[in-house]
C-alpha cells in the first residue's frame, strides 16, 4: 500500500515537473511542489465522496455521464438520446416513446451542452438540460432520479448547437440552430441559400414546478450559423447572446467560404421584450410537426405526442429587441461573466479574445449609434461596444469560464492551452498546456452568478499518447486543474466517455442529499404494476399475452408460464418489490429481439418478446442480487400456434 502510494506520488511529482517545463514562471514551481502534492489533491480515499459532481456531455454517445471531482471517477451514464441496453432505456415499452421524433423513432443523437437549472442566477440542482445536435431536441433530466424525464423536439432547426442554456431563473432553456435551413422546409435549390435560408432561435419555457418544457416562441433570424450562446445575468438578465459565423451565407465549402468576413456577429436578444410582445398576442403561429415526450415518474412510463404549431417572431416586428455586435473571426464560444457585464466572443480563427461591455452596448443602443444593418437588424459599432481585447498570444480561443474571483479561463484549441486572465484589465495571469487540443472548459457553476472556483476541467479533443493505446479509437481525455491559487496547477488526467463537449459541475452538497434511493411501491401508478404478489397473473388479449410479474430476492412470481404460442406478442410487465437502496433486478429472455430490463426497487418495466420457436424457454435475472441470484430464473412454455393449451402460471406449484 505504502509502496503504491509512493509510486503514485513520484509519478505525479514527475508529471508536475514536466508541466512546469512549459511555464514561464520557473521561480514559483519549487515552492509549489513543496507545499502541495497533486496526488493528494485528487485522492479520494476508499469510501469517501467527491466534493463535486461533474456532468459530461456524451457527444456522439448521445448520453450524459456523471463524474466525481476531483477524483475523475465515473459514477453513471445517463441515457438521454440513445438507446441504452444496460438499463433497457429506449428498448422498454415505457421508454420507447422518449425517442420518438417527427422523423419517427430516432435511437441516437449527438449530445452537446449540459446546463444545470438556476434560481437567481445560481445553480439550484433541480434539473440538467442537454441538447441533441443532430435531430434537434432538448432533454430535461431530473437531478433527483438522474433519469431523463422529458425530450422536446425543436422544429425549424438543424444542428441544434447554440443550446441548451438556461436563463437566470430557468424561465427558458434556449436552443439555437447552427445550420440555417428553409423555414418552412421545402424543395428548393441549395445554391439559393443566401437570403432564403433562415436560422431559428427557440425560447423553450420551463414550468417552474414540474420543469415541463414548451416552445414559447421562435425568433426567425437571417440565415447565419448560430454557434453558441449564453444568457445575460444580473444586470443583463433578460438578454441572451449568440455567436454567429458564416455571415457570408455560404452554402458550400464553408471551411473556406464561411471565413471570408473579418468580423461576424454576436446577436444580442432582448428576450424579455419579445416575451412581452408575444404575451400581448404578437408573433405568427405557423404549422409545424414536432414531438414532445414526457416521462412520468409515478407511472414509470413515457408518452409521446406530436405538436402541430409553433409561434414564430420576425425580429423586425419587435423594434429594439435584436442587435448585432461585430465580433472578429468566426466566434465560437459566447460567454458571460458572473456580473453580467462582459460578453466574451471567442474568435476561433483569431489569437485575441473580444470582450464586449453590456453597459456600453446599452449606451450605444440608446444613442442609436448603428453601423448599418443586416436584413434590417441594426449592427452596433464595434468600437462602441468593445470593453477590451485579451492579447493572449494563444491561437484558436474557443470557450471561457469564470472563477467568481474576477478571473476568466479560456481554452485555446490550436495552441492546446488554458489561459487565465483578469476581467477588466485583460492581462494574462497564467497559461498551462493541455493534452491535447482542448475544446470546452468547465468550472463548477462557471457560467452562473456564483462559480465555485476551485477546479477547472479541460475537455480535450485529442488523446494520442496520454493512456495505454487501445487501437485507433480512444476515449477523449479530460484534465483537472487546481485553480484556487494565482497559478493553475495540472492535477490529473482521466478518460471520458464519447466526446464530451461542454460539462456542468455542481457541489455534491447540493445534489447528494436529495438523490432518490428507490421508488416507493405504494406510489407506483404503472397500469401494469402488481403491488402484491397475489396480483401476479397472465392475461391474453387476442395474440397479446400480458405477464404481470413481481420480483424480489431471488425469484420471479410467477416463474412457470404455459399456454404461450408461437406468434404471440408476449409483454413481461415486471415490478420490483424491493424497497431497499441499490437492489435492482434484471430481466432477460432468451432470443428476445430487444435488450434486458434493469428494474429499480419499486419500479415497473415492460419488455416485449415475440417467440418464434416451440419449446420451453428460460428467463433470468441479470443483476447479481443475492447469494441465490443464480437460482433467479423461470420458464415459459411455447406451444405451436394452433395449440389448445390453456394459459397457466405458477410459482412453486401455487
Partner 1 sequence: MNNIIKASFLLALGLLISCGGKEEKQKEKIQIGQKTNVETKKETPVSNEVPASKRITLENKGVGKITSLTLDATIDNAMVERGAALFKTNCTACHKTTKRFIGPNPTGILERRSPEWIMNMILDPKLMTEEDQCAKDLLVEFNGAAMANQNLTEQQARDILEYFRTLK
DSSP string, 130-170: EEETTTTEEEEEETTT-SEEEEEE-TT-SS--S--EE-TTS
Q: How far is the CB of 601 from partner 1 (least distance, A)?
A: 9
Host H or E run for residue 295: strand 284-296
Which of 142, 86, 84, 136 minimizes the C-alpha distance to 110?
Answer: 136
Q: How far is the CB of 450 from partner 1 (least distance, A)?
A: 36
| Nearer residue to partner 1 within complex by CB, 255 or 646 | 646
Which residues have C-beta within 8 Å of that of residue 179, sequence separation ≥ 6?
Answer: 158, 159, 225
Grid coordinates representing 227 are: 454557434
| Separation between Cα atoms, residue 623 and residue 321, nearest integer Å | 55
Among 560, 608, 615, 643, interactor with partner 1 by CB under 8 A: 560
Distances (CA, A) of 153 to 60, 311, 561: 18, 14, 41
Residues 575-614, one symbol each (x = binds partner 1 by CB under 8 A, - = not), give --xxxxx-x-------------------------------
Grid coordinates representing 242 are: 449568440
Q: How far is the CB of 528 from partner 1 (least distance, A)?
A: 16
| Nearer residue to partner 1 within complex by CB, 128 or 625 | 625
The reply to whether 621 sits near partner 1 by the rule CB under 8 A is no
The reply to whether 650 sits near partner 1 by the rule CB under 8 A is yes
Q: How far is the CB of 137 from partner 1 (least distance, A)?
A: 36
| Nearer residue to partner 1 within complex by CB, 470 or 645 | 645
The reply to whether 252 sits near partner 1 by the rule CB under 8 A is no
| Separation between Cα atoms, residue 458 and residue 456, nearest integer Å | 7
Q: How far is the CB of 75 from partner 1 (least distance, A)?
A: 22
Residues 178-217, one symbol each (x = binds partner 1 by CB under 8 A, - = not), give ----------------------------------------
Cis bond before residue 67 (omega within 30° of 0): no
The reply to whether 550 sits near partner 1 by the rule CB under 8 A is yes
DSSP state of 646: P
Grid coordinates representing 641 are: 400456434
The reply to whether 555 sits near partner 1 by the rule CB under 8 A is yes
Cβ neighbours of 263 (radius 10 Å): 18
| Nearer residue to partner 1 within complex by CB, 384 or 562 | 562
3-state secondary structure of 412: strand
The reply to whether 366 sits near partner 1 by the rule CB under 8 A is no
* Options 61-69, 85-93, 143-151, 642-650: segment touching partner 1 (CB under 8 A): 642-650
Q: How far is the CB of 558 from partner 1 (least distance, A)?
A: 10
Q: How far is the CB of 517 from partner 1 (least distance, A)?
A: 8
Length of the chain (residues): 654
Distances (CA, A) of 88 to 19, 331, 408, 590, 606: 44, 40, 42, 15, 9
The reply to whether 552 sits near partner 1 by the rule CB under 8 A is yes
Angle made by CA atoms 437, 332, 404, in degrees to the nearest 5: 85
Residues 514-543, one symbol each (x = binds partner 1 by CB under 8 A, - = not), give ----x--xx--------xxxx---------
Count of chain residues binding partner 1 (CB under 8 A): 35
Residues paired with 543 in a beta bridge? none
The residues that touch partner 1, with contacts defined as CB under 8 A, are 518, 521-522, 531-534, 550-555, 557, 560, 562, 577-581, 583, 626-628, 630-631, 633, 635, 645-646, 648, 650, 652-653
Amino acid at each position: 500500500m505504502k509502496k503504491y502510494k509512493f509510486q503514485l506520488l513520484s509519478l505525479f511529482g514527475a508529471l508536475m515537473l514536466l508541466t512546469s517545463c512549459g511555464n514561464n514562471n520557473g521561480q514559483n514551481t519549487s515552492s509549489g511542489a513543496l507545499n502541495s502534492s497533486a496526488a493528494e489533491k485528487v485522492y479520494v480515499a476508499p469510501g469517501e465522496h467527491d466534493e463535486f459532481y461533474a456532468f459530461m456531455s456524451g457527444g456522439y454517445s448521445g448520453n450524459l455521464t456523471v463524474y466525481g471531482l476531483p477524483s475523475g471517477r465515473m459514477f453513471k451514464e445517463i441515457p438521454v438520446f440513445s438507446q441504452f441496453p444496460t438499463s433497457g432505456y429506449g428498448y422498454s415499452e415505457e421508454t420507447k416513446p422518449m425517442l420518438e421524433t417527427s422523423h419517427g423513432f430516432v435511437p441516437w443523437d449527438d449530445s452537446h451542452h449540459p446546463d444545470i437549472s438556476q434560481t437567481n442566477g445560481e445553480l439550484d440542482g433541480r434539473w440538467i438540460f442537454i441538447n441533441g445536435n443532430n435531430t434537434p431536441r432538448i432533454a430535461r433530466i431530473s437531478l433527483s432520479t438522474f433519469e431523463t424525464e422529458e425530450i422536446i423536439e425543436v422544429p425549424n432547426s438543424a444542428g441544434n448547437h447554440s443550446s441548451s442554456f438556461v436563463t437566470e431563473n430557468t424561465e427558458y432553456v434556449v436552443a439555437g440552430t447552427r445550420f440555417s435551413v428553409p423555414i418552412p422546409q421545402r424543395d428548393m435549390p441549395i445554391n439559393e441559400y443566401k437570403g432564403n435560408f433562415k436560422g431559428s432561435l427557440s425560447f423553450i419555457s420551463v414550468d417552474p414546478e414540474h420543469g415541463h418544457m414548451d416552445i414559447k416562441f421562435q425568433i426567425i433570424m437571417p440565415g447565419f450559423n448560430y454557434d453558441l450562446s449564453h444568457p445575460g445575468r444580473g444586470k443583463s438578465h433578460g438578454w441572451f447572446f449568440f455567436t454567429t459565423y458564416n455571415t457570408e451565407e455560404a452554402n458550400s465549402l464553408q471551411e473556406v467560404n464561411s471565413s471570408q468576413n473579418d468580423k461576424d456577429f454576436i446577436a444580442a436578444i432582448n428576450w424579455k421584450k419579445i416575451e412581452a410582445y408575444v404575451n400581448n398576442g404578437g408573433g405568427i403561429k405557423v404549422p409545424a410537426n414536432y414531438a414532445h415526450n414526457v416521462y412520468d415518474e409515478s407511472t414509470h412510463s413515457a408518452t409521446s405526442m406530436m405538436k402541430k404549431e409553433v409561434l414564430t417572431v420576425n425580429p423586425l416586428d419587435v423594434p429594439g429587441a435584436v442587435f448585432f455586435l461585430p465580433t472578429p473571426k468566426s466566434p465560437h464560444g459566447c460567454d458571460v461573466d458572473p456580473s453580467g457585464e462582459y460578453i466574451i466572443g471567442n474568435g476561433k480563427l483569431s489569437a485575441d479574445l473580444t470582450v464586449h461591455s453590456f453597459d456600453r452596448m446599452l449606451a450605444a443602443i440608446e444613442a442609436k449609434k448603428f453601423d448599418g444593418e443586416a436584413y434590417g437588424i441594426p449592427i452596433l459599432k464595434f468600437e462602441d461596444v468593445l470593453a477590451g481585447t485579451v492579447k493572449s498570444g494563444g491561437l484558436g480561443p474557443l470557450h471561457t469560464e469564470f472563477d467568481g474571483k474576477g478571473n476568466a479561463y479560456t481554452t485555446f484549441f490550436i495552441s492546446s492551452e488554458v489561459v487565465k486572465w483578469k476581467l477588466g484589465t485583460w492581462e494574462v495571469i497564467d497559461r498551462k498546456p493541455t493534452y491535447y487540443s482542448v475544446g470546452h472548459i468547465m468550472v463548477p457553476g462557471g457560467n452562473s452568478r456564483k462559480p465555485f472556483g476551485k477546479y477547472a476541467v479541460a475537455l480535450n479533443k485529442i488523446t494520442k499518447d496520454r493512456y495505454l493505446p487501445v487501437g485507433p479509437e480512444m476515449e477523449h481525455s479530460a484534465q483537472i486543474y487546481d485553480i484556487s491559487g494565482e497559478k493553475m496547477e495540472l492535477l490529473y488526467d482521466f478518460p471520458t466517455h464519447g466526446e464530451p463537449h461542454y460539462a456542468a459541475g455542481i457541489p455534491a452538497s447540493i445534489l447528494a442529499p436529495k438523490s432518490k434511493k428507490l421508488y416507493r411501491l405504494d406510489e407506483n401508478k404503472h397500469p401494469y404494476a402488481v403491488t402484491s404478489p397475489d396480483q401476479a397473473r397472465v392475461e391474453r388479449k387476442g395474440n397479446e399475452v400480458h405477464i404481470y410479474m413481481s420480483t424480489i430476492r431471488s425469484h420471479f412470481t410467477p416463474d412457470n408460464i404455459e399456454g404461450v404460442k408461437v406468434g404471440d406478442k408476449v409483454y413481461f410487465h415486471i415490478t420490483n418489490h424491493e424497497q431497499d437502496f441499490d437492489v435492482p433486478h434484471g430481466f432477460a429472455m432468451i432470443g428476445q429481439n430487444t435488450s434486458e430490463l434493469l428494474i429499480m426497487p419499486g419500479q415497473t418495466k415492460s419488455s416485449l418478446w415475440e417467440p418464434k420457436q416451440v419449446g420451453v424457454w428460460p428467463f433470468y435475472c441479470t443483476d447479481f442480487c443475492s447469494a441465490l441470484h443464480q437460482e433467479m430464473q423461470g420458464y415459459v412454455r411455447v406451444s405451436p400456434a394452433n395449440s389448445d393449451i390453456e394459459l397457466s402460471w405458477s410459482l412453486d406449484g401455487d
